[in-house]
Amino acid sequence: MVKKIINILFIVSFFAYLAGCVTLTGPAVSQEEIKKTQEELKVKALDYQIKQLQRLQNIGHRLMLAIPKEDINQPPQPLLGIMCFNVDEHLQKLYNLNMDKAVVVVVVKEPSPASEVGIKPGDVLLSINNTKINNLHQFANVVDNLKIGDRLQIKVLRDQQYLSFETKIASIPVNLPIIIVDLQEVNAATDGRAIFVTYGLLNFAKSDDEIAAVLAHELAHAVRRHVTKAQGTQILSFLAALALGIAVESNAPGSGEAVMRGVNQIGEIFNAHYSRDLEREADYFGTRFVYYAGYDVEACATVEERFAIEIPASMVKNFLSTHPSSPERVTRIRKTIEELKAKELKERKE
């Protein structure tokens, strides 16, 4: 009898042990449920992407508007102030659209002719000056020929309502598209016709002021025409970007899809080499752009300090072989800030 009880206790203990080893995964889920969640996450990711793009465009736009006349040697460029995507299934869900062949506004720059008349993200472009817009190619064909002062009638669909806006193309000292690159590397670059910023940089920057400092440096490279002075074979050409499906316009009164993927094919743009003197000039004019745009100009120095402290090898490999050292850059930028503030103080007294 005792032996039977011992055997029973052993068996019970054994099964209890097995039960304790069983992995509990929770409720069962079907592939259909997983796919549905995946699609929901894609829409949320797109929403996040567009918000980052809006933030980036507004910072860059503010810098470009504030460039002093003496710092740029080119005629002003046309400005409408919108960026658009071709409608796809995820944009349909994000903006509650029921059309699949259309162009939707995703970014409205402020201030701009588009923002002033009330055009909003999520508006579907129907026509510009009675020319129908069904895709980005048609949109580019229309806006690429627009000039400063041209009057526009823009028809859109918003929440099942047809709206019409009248405006005219404004001017801006320079109007470069800003494109997000899907890389976690902390970097930014320009080919002279667009500015490229990685997600890594957006995540690294602690404020709009720091983003402005980095954007302004690249903007200075473009405005001061450093690209033509650098080794052109190391710069990704604008036509190559278009071949990758990036629809942007060089004058950019509007713009196209502005998140670049296929990064293995575009990494070369981040390997562009400028001389140390060109980098110094970009630091100098970039600091001026930040100051006149009203951002915290001290960020131009502090972001360089953060690069030196948090990324000791600097932003990318070979960075130190082509850029002045971080201590030199921080020192020069600080002296530039002192000059700008002293000049402003003197002008106030006068």
Is 250 in a helix, a strand, or coil?
coil
Q: Structure tokens of 122?
A: 């999520």
pLDDT tens track for 191-241:
788 888 888 899 999 999 999 999 999 999 999 988 765 444 333 333 333
Average pLDDT over residues 111-140: 94
**The whole model's pTM is what?**
0.82
C-alpha torsion angle, residues 330, 276, 310, 335 (rounded to 10): 10
227 shares its domain with 80: no
**pLDDT confidence bin for 101, thresholds 50/70/90:** confident
Whether residue 211 is found in the same domain as residue 327: yes
Query: Which tens digits make up the pLDDT trace of 237-296?
Result: 333 333 333 333 333 344 444 454 444 445 556 666 667 888 899 999 999 999 999 999
**Domain limit, last residue, from 172, 205, 225:** 172
**Are residue 159 and residue 195 in the same domain, yes or no?**
no
Residues β-bridged to residue 185: none
Percent share of the chain, pLDDT over 70 = 76
Q: Is residue 155 located within the same domain as residue 205?
A: no
Residue 1 inside a domain? The answer is no
Residue 297 inside a domain? The answer is yes
**C-alpha distances in angstroms, 49 versus 53, 120, 146, 276?**
6, 17, 28, 34
Q: Would you say residue 92 lies in a domain? A: yes
> Exposure string (b/e) for 123-161, b if CB count within 10 Å is 16 or more?
bbbbbbeeeebbebebbbebbeebebeeebebbbbeeee
Torsion over CA: 17, 23, 27, 31 (sign): negative
Q: Which of 172, 190, 221 represents a domain boundary (last residue)?
A: 172
Domain check: are 164 and 245 in the same one? no
* 269 touches 189 (CB < 8 A): yes
So what's the pLDDT on residue 340?
94
Query: Between 8 and 18, where is the model more confident?
Result: 8
In the predicted structure, residue 76 carries a pLDDT above the cut 70: yes
Secondary-structure percent of the chain, ordered helix, strand, coil, rounded to 5? 50, 15, 35
Let me know whether 216 and 196 are in one domain.
yes
Whether residue 165 sits in one domain with residue 187: no
- Read off the amino acid at residue 149: G
The answer to whether residue 11 is domain-embedded is no
- What is the chain's mean pLDDT, rounded? 81
Is the residue at 28 inside a domain?
A: no
Same domain, 243 and 270: yes
Identify the domain containing residue 43 by its residue range. Answer: 36-172
| Domain boundary pick from 134, 157, 172 | 172
Q: What is the DSSP string of 302-332?
A: HHHHHHHHH-TT-SSTTHHHHS--HHHHHHH
Instruction: Give me the number of domains the chain comprises.
Output: 2
Task: Output the pLDDT for position 2.
Answer: 56
* 61 belongs to a structural domain: yes
